[in-house]
Structure 1
């Protein structure tokens, strides 16, 4: 076995040992690592009610997808099983990330160990996994959907994306770039922009197949719970924001301070704000759909209603798929320092407010704003780099002419 594979084995073993320790238990209620839509204690509360013939959605606190209920209802609540399951899910995510890189590079450059290690040791991804947040499942399904799209395997790609959308509705916004990816290829075309052209007859069957999978999973969720009450508590939570539990996102504090009279208007504004990015990003990066998918993953992580650190962690880890952009990043040091600053401030101000009781909500929201600026800086850097590569030669010629 090579040294790189031994390194990966050590990382996985260390993660498993940490997951079996008391650290994970202390993180399960952390608002930065788990939201009302993916917190493990709420999931176990819902499965308890489900096993006793009570609708878990009747109380208005359980907001997980019904698809989790049949699986976790028979799975014992064992720390050993949980540690093994979440470690396995992260290993699948790391494997999918490596497969995406192989499709992107054509297998020319071997960076599998580096990419897998970056995913497994990223604290934004590692800590939510220790907290047994189901965001790890969301990330795994998204990466699998992208992997299958890169390999032009339409049925598993669309099914994975439909499953991810069922668990977390904002993931459905990745359908347009993934469709472009299915109908083109995953290799880097940032430096050779060209218009994407295909016929409607090629797109329509793929879209219909996706919605067939999505409708099937929706029907399975409805059968599992015996009604449609789950939709208002899961998908509806992202539209009407009924639970204002703090998180690293930008929604909760704003709507805590909002007058009820203006609430519907601003809910519409916030929801539409995320939606309007899809078409411009897909059009601008139509020559490289994988890069468009990457940008939208970052935008969803920043603007979704109930984000956790795992959402931003997926976007930041996907940077490793695009080494050609590194030299074109505009402010990488500033962005890195902002993330370091936010990574230190978030737990500190959260403890001051929730733990020590010496602060208030403004403390934690201030740190989440720093986190938002850091994510925004990373997204802008990525967009800038992608555009600079596309016009690199033109820009250099223009600079020479100006001199």
Structure 2
């Protein structure tokens, strides 16, 4: 144990703040890879302007942020050219701090030699830094996600469920994390990947927590309705994740598919895509019932891969969470291949985006091809994580023996 992490953290935050006040954010604000219609800073500013002038921002078709952000930034935290970089830097710093707390709770130590590495892997992760410099509200979603997991690891179920309810208000696909986070608050985050034994969770433990989450969600929903004065926000925010009304290009797998979709097939495939996200919850929670923190990690990866309106920040959170599971590193199956696919995609995405939307020498197929490569990289990382999590429990197989998990 040492204090390197405590020294590295302020240095990383200072470097991040310098970047935030550089000319770089102005060049990134309108990049579709870093901001989606649900997380765009320019759309947030537009909605705040309309709201402050007595116009319902949800009466149009461009504003899709949660009313919680609308009320927060129009009253308590006004967004300016000076406050916004500081706020987003503080959000990233808080998320990095929460990630290190999760690691410490999992390791059962107040301070470890890996703390500085974990700070750096979050605050220097390009998938995290670039969307944050673009002032995408996906950075706030990452913070709420990590705070929910941190509170669950500490056994503070109420705080975890409140943070999770706030996250769902901002991003509906976060409902994937409700079950594993609730169960994590009961079981605590001690590493059990190498001891794959069934965990007995009593219904009387989970039902009150689920009811509490529903209560927080209902309270926040009514508060949002009070802010807006009507229920139109539900269709524009949550409804956008279910009906995909805005087909602005993004790094995800949905937009091009539904751009080419015939209208009479659209409702069916929307239902299939939405249900597809939900089918992972039970299998992941059951298979990794001995380590619900790892189940949360995997479902964050599922969300990053199949989210309707993703940004680079979503896989960025998944890759940053790899740092709190060092025991799986020896069991990753194809880490070099996965890394090279992501390197390839990180070059293709901006190149093909520029060829299509700026140079005019390409078309939508160019950019969609790069998003497929990016999706393949995310899928490869997710499969590697699943394989490694299962392989840890088996250990080194001895010749002539078969080992099966319970």
For Structure 1 versus Structure 2, the TM-score category normalised by the shorter chain is over 0.9
SS of 2:165's equivalent? helix
Report the secondary structure of 1:262's partner residue.
helix
Task: Encode CA deviations 1:20-73: one digit per residue, 9 max, x unaligned.
Answer: 122101111100000000000000000011001111000011000000111111
Give the aligned partner of residue 154 of structure 2. Answer: 151
Judged with a 3 Å threshold, the aligned counterparts in structure 2 of structure 1 residues 197 and 5 are, in CA distance, closer, same or farther, namely: closer
Q: Does residue 242 in structure 1 map to residue 241 in structure 2?
A: no
Cα distance in structure 1, aligned partners of 2:80 and 2:169: 26
Q: Find the aligned partners of 2:402 and 2:158 in 1 and give their Cα distance.
A: 50
Among residues 219, 223, 226, which one is paired with 1:216 in the alignment? 219
Structure 2 unaligned runs (5+)? Answer: none
Cα offset, 1:400, TM superposition: 9.2
TM-align CA RMSD: 1.5
* Matched ranges for 1:293-332 at <5 A: 293-332=296-335
Structure 1 CA distance, aligned partners of 2:213 and 2:78?
33
TM-score, normalization by structure 1:
0.97
Distance across 1 between alignment mates of 2:320 and 2:227: 35
In structure 1, C-alpha distance between the alignment counterparts of 2:4 and 2:205, rounded to whole Å: 45
Matched, 1:379 2:389: no
3-state DSSP class of the match of 1:110?
coil
Q: Tell me the CA shift for residue 392 of structure 1.
A: 2.2
Mapped to 1, the partners of 2:219 and 2:43 lie a distance apart of 25
Q: Residues 400 and 199 of structure 1: is their aligned pair in 2 closer, same or farther, counting only changes over 3 Å? A: closer
Counterpart Cα distance in 1 of 2:163 and 2:313: 18
Q: Among 280, 283, 290, which residue is 1:287 paired with?
A: 290
Instruction: Using the TM superposition, give the Cα deviation of residue 377 of structure 1 relative to its aligned residue in structure 2, in angstroms.
Output: 0.3
Pairing 1:1-400 to 2, within 5 Å after superposition: 4-74=5-75, 75-107=77-109, 109-392=112-395, 395-398=397-400
Contact 2:39 2:65 in 1 (8 A): yes
Moved more, 121-130 or 66-75: 66-75
Give 1:2 deviation, angstroms.
Answer: 5.4
| Cα distance in 2 between the residues matched to 1:136 and 1:120 | 11
Q: 2: distance between equivalents of 1:317 and 1:104? A: 15
CA distance in 2 between partners of 1:388 and 1:312 (Å): 23
Structure 1: tracts of 5 or more residues without a match: none
- Answer yes or no: is the 8 Å Cα contact 2:3–2:113 preserved in 1: no
Normalising by structure 2, what TM-score? Answer: 0.96
Q: Deviations over 1:138-195 (max 9, x none)?
A: 0000000000000001111110000001100111110111111111120110011111
